[in-house]
């Protein structure tokens, strides 16, 4: 199978880029692959690219997105706006570079850790209040995602903030504490937006000591009670980083869920 790679910008900042990795074929579903690193500029899309390349073996194209992170102009609301804009760019430069082969009604998101937060947030994007970062207004063109696979995702930003996960990474992203900025946290936290029918699969290692399993468990219970088609897969004996090791069965579990979506 011939694999082609295109890189393009969706904005003027050096971090506003998409690397589009495509298998051969005329009708290509797309996975938006979002890296983690607690939204900090020390970590980049190189963490996600191996996952994207692996997906092409199964006939799925990958849009490995980069975005502005804390320390280089990211934070509230820039990081969220970038991710939404990157996905929407698939309908413009992405589709042009792919010669019209992208199936824009079969786009799903997958993300690890902080990228899991952003992937789930994209799945809830349609229910965001109009006029807020990443929201979709009446008649506005956008590319919806059919669902999201979160790999040890940070899905409850309020508890992640109070527990100071990542040495205060959530407070840095949101530029303040949850108790002081309730509306901001409500907009950005996937847990706060359950009940809109978003399809989310949470994959989490049982012994993850970087993002606790409780992050996925709380989201799962809230989404299940709200009637959303949510699923929780707990991998026994698995920590944080096995989920992004393309040679590890933990990645196989994540990839299988993504392939079912698209």
**Cα(143)–Cα(122) distance, rounded to whole angstroms?**
10
Could you check whether the bond before residue 77 is cis, i.e. omega within 30 degrees of 0?
A: yes
* Residue found under tokens 């992937």: 119
CA 29 to chain centre: 16
Segment 197-221, tens digit of pLDDT = 999 999 999 999 999 999 999 999 9
pLDDT, tens digit (0-9, with 9 covering 90-100), for 167-183: 999 999 999 999 999 99
User: Concatenated DSSP letters for 5-69?
Assistant: EEEEESSSSTT-EEEEEE-SSSSEEEEEEE--STTBTT--GGGTHHHHHHHGGGT-EEEEE----
155 sits in the region (left: phi over 0; alpha: psi -120 to 50; else beta) called: alpha
Task: Establish how many alpha carbons lie within 13 A of residue 4's alpha carbon, considering only the half-sphere containing its beta carbon.
Answer: 10
- What is the per-residue pLDDT for 133? 86
Q: Is the pTM of this model over 0.75?
A: yes
Q: Give the model confidence (pLDDT) of 29-55 as tens digits.
A: 999 999 999 999 999 999 999 999 999
Classified as helix, coil or strand, 230 is strand
Is pLDDT of 137 > 80?
no
Instruction: Read off the pLDDT of residues 153-170 as tens digits, 9 standing for 90 and up.
Output: 999 999 999 999 999 999
Domains and CATH numbers, the chain: 4-252 (3.40.50.1820)
Residue 163 CB neighbours (<10 A): 13
Closest by CA to 117, choosing from 94, 168, 73, 151, is 151
Q: Residue 220's pLDDT is what? A: 98
Q: Is the predicted pLDDT of residue 240 greater than 80, yes or no? A: yes
């Amino acid at each position: 199978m011939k694999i082609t790679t295109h890189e393009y910008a969706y904005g003027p900042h050096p971090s506003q880029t998409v690397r589009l990795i495509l298998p051969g074929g005329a009708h290509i579903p797309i996975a938006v692959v979002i890296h983690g690193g607690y939204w900090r500029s020390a970590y980049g899309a190189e963490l996600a690219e191996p996952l994207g390349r692996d997906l092409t073996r199964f006939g799925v194209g990958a849009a490995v997105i980069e975005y502005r992170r804390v320390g280089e102009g990211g934070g509230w609301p820039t990081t969220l706006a970038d991710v939404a804009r990157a996905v929407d760019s698939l309908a413009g430069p992405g589709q042009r570079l792919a010669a019209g082969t992208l199936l824009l009604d079969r786009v799903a998101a997958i993300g690890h850790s902080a990228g899991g937060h952003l992937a789930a947030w994209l799945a809830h994007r349609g229910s965001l209040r109009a006029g807020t970062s990443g929201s979709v207004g009446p008649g506005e063109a956008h590319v919806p995602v059919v669902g999201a696979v979160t790999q040890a995702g940070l899905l409850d930003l309020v508890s992640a903030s109070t527990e100071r996960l990542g040495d205060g990474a959530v407070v840095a992203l949101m530029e303040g504490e949850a108790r002081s900025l309730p509306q901001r946290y409500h907009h950005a936290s996937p847990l706060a937006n359950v009940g809109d029918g978003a399809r989310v699969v949470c994959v989490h290692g049982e012994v993850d000591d970087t993002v606790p399993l409780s992050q996925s468990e709380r989201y799962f219970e809230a989404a299940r009670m709200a009637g959303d088609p949510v699923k929780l897969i707990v991998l026994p004996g698995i920590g944080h980083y096995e989920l992004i090791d393309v040679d590890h069965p933990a990645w196989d579990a994540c990839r299988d869920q993504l392939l079912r979506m698209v």
